[in-house]
Structure formats: C-alpha cells, structure tokens
Amino acid sequence: MLRKLAVGALLLVGVVLTGCTYPSGAVIAPIMNTKSAVAVGDTSVGMSKVGEATCEGILFLSKGDASIKAAMEEAGITRIHHVDSEEQNILGIYSTKTIRVYGE
C-alpha cells in the first residue's frame, strides 16, 4: 500500500513540475497566466490595428500558429509598433500562447 502511495505521489509531482518547465521564463508556477512584451518596432508607427495568433496544447499534442507573421496577416498589418505575448499553462496539461501585434 505504501509503495502504491509513493508511486502516485511521484507521478503527481512529475505532472506538477511539468508545468514549471513551460518555456515562458516564469518562476515555478504549476498554474500560470502571464503577459509580457516580445519586441518593440518603430514607435512612430500607429497602433490602429491589432492582430492575434494563438496556439494551444493538451499534454503532448499542440495545434496552431502563434507566430508574429500569422498575427500580422490576420489583421493586415505591414508595419509593427510592438508585439506582446500572453501565455497560460495549467499543470503542464493544457497550455495556450497568444501573440498580439500592434501596428498599421
């Protein structure tokens, strides 16, 4: 019985630590939702358009295109003011990443 409990605890720790290794630069956080700056372009360019591109993953499967290029195409942006990122991760089981491009 003690052995089964130890194995279960070890598996649970493994799942929790998987959330800590998500490549976001965040500190150890089994559940996280962060927003951060990615890049600054030409600040003389206006921010009249906002494009978003998202990808999501469940366990070892992922889908989507969260590239700056995809976000630019989504809003018809040709000149970039700045780029932001939003990432969410829940215990390493479900994660999303959204790139927002601001520009004209």
What is this structure's pTM?
Answer: 0.69
Main-chain phi, psi angles of 71, to 5 degrees: -70, -40
- pLDDT category at 72 given cuts 50, 70, 90 is very high
Average pLDDT over residues 82-86: 94
Under 8 Å between Cβ of 1 and 77: no
More confident residue, 38 or 13: 38
Higher pLDDT, 98 or 37: 98
